[in-house]
Chains A and B, each alone.
Chain A
């Protein structure tokens, strides 16, 4: 009896992981533009990482890109200054993002919009510090960094697949485990949840650090794949915006929503081309407004309206 319950609980997540993993492993064989696939996976990870925090605790990190940038710089600096294997450097990049999240931990005391804007400001601070010409000797300043000696498109592609699967697995855990139930209770009513024995502050902090680590991993692998980058490339607010829109579009608080949202919208984004960014910006703006007004739970919520259980 217990076994079937456990199977029922973890089955959908396992199947989904398998499908996504196999797809992205096989796709490069039939579709040549691996850099596009790589960017798509990066945004799947970011949308899922943002979903871990926003979907499961209600904190919307507008400065999510800050963790991505911290991961990219942490990884690159380790590659440049140590002789550690690249994967260890990527883990170091994630650690840099987690450290930044620890420093910013007190922001979780703020509610709603205060948190979002303070987080945005924090990511801007990191950007201005990293790109400051006075720190050129350490961070490369506005000229960015180059880690060409570790250049390995295939290895970084595989690592990104792994990071993507990790982010999906984490979302599955948040959705299906006892820990996830506690998060759900906290979202509905933090006071009652803490009465029922949930350590509200601790669990929130765990989610926050996990979400930061996911973005840090993505940033690290992204920098590894890109191998030459400027601070603007890994700190642009556009990255936060993409992650937010993709997650919202698919549906936050679910496992498949952000993945579907990122894949659909990123494909669409490349389909219409970026020759005139303002058209895309207009499209995004209209999409955000329409989503908030008419479909605040994303497109996957349409499925649940039809009676399907959205995982």
Chain B
């Protein structure tokens, strides 16, 4: 039984963390109706940034979080204004943005190999606490709990932004109907840019913990992180932040159970889930009829 409990608790922690990885992708899609295919590369950038802080400046990796936010602002705004308004006027924004962000992903991957080298990087385990916390007799390293805690805080923060702030209301209006939002006087373009930057910041913050949860981070991890995020977002339905948490938990538990019982097949989990879900219920588990946040 202890194997099962290990998989269960590990799956929940892992799943909460992966909802943070995926939630930025979902936000960007919900607001911009574009799939940021470079999402995984931004996650990787967050991890690489944290590793530079640790190696060069000997700071705690948690300083990677503010760095990710600054990085998202510095990269996100220029990128948004350089490509998105032009894309939205094109004949097929959905497909063209998809291809364009793939190009962006390639650029980021190439530049990060040039800047950081192709090697895998890990972070010192004791930086986030050297002990471990046990629940139901199953212990997990402190870093896992910190990652899950930061994920919960970030997602609750995003929820509060939507539910309590004026900007959040306006952003939800854009998600519901872009043209009507514009007609009521909402500055659709600048709010979309803000949502894009928040999405990148969430990806970067998640990236800080990737070396702990996945063992290491390297520039070539981006594409598989993007596909996994996409799977999680689809499981919970696009444009639905709460759904992403459900998707993350399904993915986390699925992966951990597979790793425990059929370890050689566990890397199939995100892909198999994705194909099954889009074929059975393209609108996701929670469906489009339900709109939270």
**Interface of A with B (CB < 8 Å)?**
58, 60, 106-107, 109-110, 112-114, 116-118, 120-122, 124-125, 128-129, 132-134, 237, 241, 244, 248, 278-279, 281-282, 284-289, 292-293, 296
Are B264 and A289 neighbours in the complex by a CB distance under 8 Å?
no
Docked pose: A128 CA to B282 CA in angstroms: 24
Q: Which of B87, B234, B268 contacts A125 (CB 8 A)?
A: B268
Docked pose: A162 CA to B91 CA in angstroms: 36
**Closest Cβ neighbor of B233 among chain A residues:** A117
Q: Which of B35, B114, B223 contacts A278 (CB 8 A)?
A: B114
Docked pose: A121 CA to B113 CA in angstroms: 25
CB-defined contacts of B126 to chain A, threshold 8 Å: none
Are B110 and A282 neighbours in the complex by a CB distance under 8 Å?
yes
Chain A binder among B99-107, B139-147, B196-204: B99-107
Given contacts A279-B110, A293-B86, A116 and B98 within 8 Å (CB-CB): yes
**Interface of B with A (CB < 8 Å)?**
35, 83, 86-87, 90-92, 94-100, 102-111, 113-114, 118, 223, 227, 230-231, 234, 264-265, 267-268, 270-272, 274-275, 278-279, 282
**Closest Cβ neighbor of B262 among chain A residues:** A134
CB-defined contacts of A248 to chain B, threshold 8 Å: 99
Given contacts A107-B279, A125-B271, A282-B107, A289 and B95 within 8 Å (CB-CB): no
Are A292 and B103 neighbours in the complex by a CB distance under 8 Å?
yes
Are A134 and B264 neighbours in the complex by a CB distance under 8 Å?
yes
Are A113 and B110 neighbours in the complex by a CB distance under 8 Å?
no
CB-defined contacts of A282 to chain B, threshold 8 Å: 106-107, 110-111, 114
Are A287 and B103 neighbours in the complex by a CB distance under 8 Å?
yes
**Closest Cβ neighbor of A287 among chain B residues:** B103
Q: List 16 A-B contacts (CB under 8 A).
A: A58-B95, A107-B278, A112-B95, A112-B98, A113-B94, A121-B231, A121-B271, A124-B271, A125-B275, A128-B268, A129-B268, A133-B264, A281-B113, A285-B103, A285-B104, A292-B100
- Extra contacts, 19 of them, besides A281-B109, A292-B87, A292-B103 (Cβ < 8 A), are A106-B279, A107-B279, A110-B282, A116-B98, A118-B275, A121-B272, A128-B267, A128-B271, A134-B264, A241-B106, A278-B118, A281-B107, A282-B106, A282-B110, A285-B105, A285-B106, A286-B103, A288-B103, A293-B87
Q: Which of A114, A124, A237, A287 contacts B278 (CB 8 A)?
A: A114
CB-defined contacts of A112 to chain B, threshold 8 Å: 94-95, 98
Tell me the minimal C-beta distance from B63 to chain A in angstroms.
28
Tell me the minimal C-beta distance from A24 to chain B in angstroms.
29
Docked pose: A292 CA to B265 CA in angstroms: 37
Tell me the minimal C-beta distance from B131 to chain A in angstroms.
35
Are A278 and B103 neighbours in the complex by a CB distance under 8 Å?
no
CB-defined contacts of A109 to chain B, threshold 8 Å: 282
Tell me the minimal C-beta distance from B278 to chain A in angstroms.
5
Are A118 and B278 neighbours in the complex by a CB distance under 8 Å?
yes
